[in-house]
Structure 1
Amino acid sequence: MQVLTFEMEEDDYSLVGIHSTEEDYRLAFLMNKYLQLKLKRYKDNLDFKNSKAEFPLFEFKDEHNFINYYLINNKHTQFVHNQENAGLFGGNYSTISYLIPEKKKIDFFLKVEGCYRKIFINNLTEKLNTINQIITAYSIETSTLKSKDHLIF
């Protein structure tokens, strides 16, 4: 009896890392302006069961080309006020959580579903790099990520 096997792609999306000091809503605006996208704030934040961290999410579903774009902040900063250790400078401190901890230096991720051609992603990163407020943008090989399950939503 012959066994049939199907070879599927491991990931069904492409990922672009973006370095920028802009706020997420401002970056979404700039991407809409220069790339003719229509990113909008998703009604809910991306969150996880065992964490208090929430990551803002912007999405655009291009139904004409069957491509979905998701802009996700990689950092979540939570400010904590601690009355017990007020000390000289107060008891305030912050904790930072990362969506993809092994990529702490990346500020944002652009997840692209529906187009896996390298030339499309290369053109997209070139256009992103023309935006003055973006320091750099580049494609990320998703197979190298340990926390890629955080990008499944």
Structure 2
Amino acid sequence: MALHKLLVDDFYDATYKLIAIHCRLEDYRLAYLLNQSLNLKLERNPNDLDFNYTSSSYSIYEWNNSSDYITWNLIANVCKKEEESLYSTGTLFSNENRTLKTYNLIPELKQVDYFVKISNEIQNVNEKLIIDKLQTIPQIITSYQIDLDTIKSKEHLIF
């Protein structure tokens, strides 16, 4: 009897490019600067990218360029959330401490602040030209292309 094994990775073909951005700006300011320099029309998505298992949400901006069949996304990689810290209940004084916890969309790339995801169906996008334009923005520290084969949590980028 023959044994057939199906791998889930075989069914999903990544047709997008991913660019990492290191920048300390707020997400709306970075979206404005990207719109200015790359001639985009990024708009805030009404629903954030939510993950229930970590109770974190990430802002997402999107522009669907229907004439070129390209979808642009700006995704935050960092979610900072204030939570109650654990303390002993048998103490004389009750002090409620709150701690600031940081969650990342892609845990392997904790230093990255934002991702630009470029989904293209027909034509190739010149990543080198886009990265060169991003480097001209003074508020962006650095930007570079990410090899999708090195990311273990690619499923977080499927939305």
Structure 1 length as normaliser, TM-score?
0.86
- Does residue 99 in structure 1 map to residue 99 in structure 2? no
SS at match of 1:51: coil
Q: Determine whether 1:117 maps to 2:124.
A: yes
> What are the residue-to-residue correspondences of 1:39-58 with 2, within 5 Å?
39-58=42-61
The equivalent residue for 1:62 is: 65
Displacement of 1:103 after TM fit?
A: 0.2
Name the structure 1 match of 2:20.
17
Name segments (4+ residues, structure 1) moved above 2 Å.
Answer: 7-10, 81-87, 115-118
DSSP-derived class of the 1:38 partner: coil
Match of 2:141 among 127, 135, 143: 135
2:103 and 2:119 map into 1 onto residues whose CA distance is 25
Whole-angstrom distance in 2 between the partners of 1:152 and 1:131: 28
SS of 1:105's partner is coil
CA distance in 1, matches of 2:11, 2:133: 30
CA–CA distance in structure 2, aligned partners of residues 111 and 103 of structure 1: 15
Q: Secondary structure at the match of 2:82?
A: strand
Aligned-CA RMSD value:
2.2
- Aligned-pair identity in percent equals 35
| 1:49 Cα deviation from its structure 2 partner | 3.3
TM-score, normalized by length of structure 2?
A: 0.83
Which amino acid in 1 is paired with 2:26? E
Q: Which stretches in structure 1 are left out of the alignment for 5+ residues?
A: 1-6
Paired AA for residue 143 in structure 1: D
Please state whether the residue corresponding to 1:136 is helix, strand or coil: strand
- Residue aligning to 1:146: 152
Post-superposition shift, 1:81? 4.0
The count of residues paired between Structure 1 and Structure 2 equals 144
CA distance in 1, matches of 2:42, 2:102: 25
